[in-house]
Amino acid sequence: MAIDNRVPILLVSIALVSMAIGLNQAEGTTHTVEGWALMKYNKYAAAEKFTVGDTLVFKYIHGQHNVLRVTREDFFLCNGSNPIANYATGDDFVTLVETGDHFFICGVKSHCLTGQKLNILVKRDHSASSPPPFSLYPVVRVGISLLVLCFLY
């Protein structure tokens, strides 16, 4: 019977959707800063949504740059002499554990002065704000494939 065949597909689809939603809430997003060396920081910060639990990954050639988390004042002065935290592996994982503004600069030579700095605003959590469009994407996508399957069967 055609209708019986659809039931397992429906159940699998529901399970997949639940998993997608569950994963989205349980784990933070990883934001990779691939172009730390050529940072256009305003553009990047505006395009991304940061939430507590997310991870920021800075990628760059080890030894050529570093990442210093600094205060707001030191960010604007490009003063890296008293950082809150510092990273220098070239594959630096920074977990965002608190809300509010976060300021990162490169402490090598005058890189910060030439724009290698990043200011991000970290929000409370994924569920507190209205869901961003990307979290709806898996649901929409599974919905569409379900429709396609219904036409096939």
Ligand X SMILES: *[C@@H]1O[C@H](CO)[C@@H](O)[C@H](O)[C@H]1NC(C)=O
Q: Name the residues that contact ligand X, by CB under 6 A.
A: 77, 79, 81-82
Identify whether the C-beta of residue 108 lies closer than 8 Å to the C-beta of residue 65: yes
Q: CB-wise, 82 or 130, nearer to ligand X? A: 82
> Is 91 within 8 Å of 59 (Cβ atoms)?
yes
CB of 124 to ligand X, least distance (A): 29
| H or E stretch at 102 | strand 100-105
- Cβ atoms of residues 33 and 46 within 8 Å: no
Cβ closest to ligand X, residue 109 vs residue 124: 109
- Minimum CB separation of residue 74 from ligand X in Å reads 6
Smallest distance from the beta carbon of 80 to ligand X, in angstroms?
A: 8
CB of residue 144 to ligand X, shortest distance in Å: 54
The two structure tokens encoding residue 119: 């200011």
- Looking at the Cβ atoms of 28 and 80, the one nearer to ligand X is 80
Coil, strand or helix at 100? strand
Residue with smaller CB distance to ligand X, 10 or 84 = 84
Nearest to 32 by CA among 83, 71, 67, 73: 67
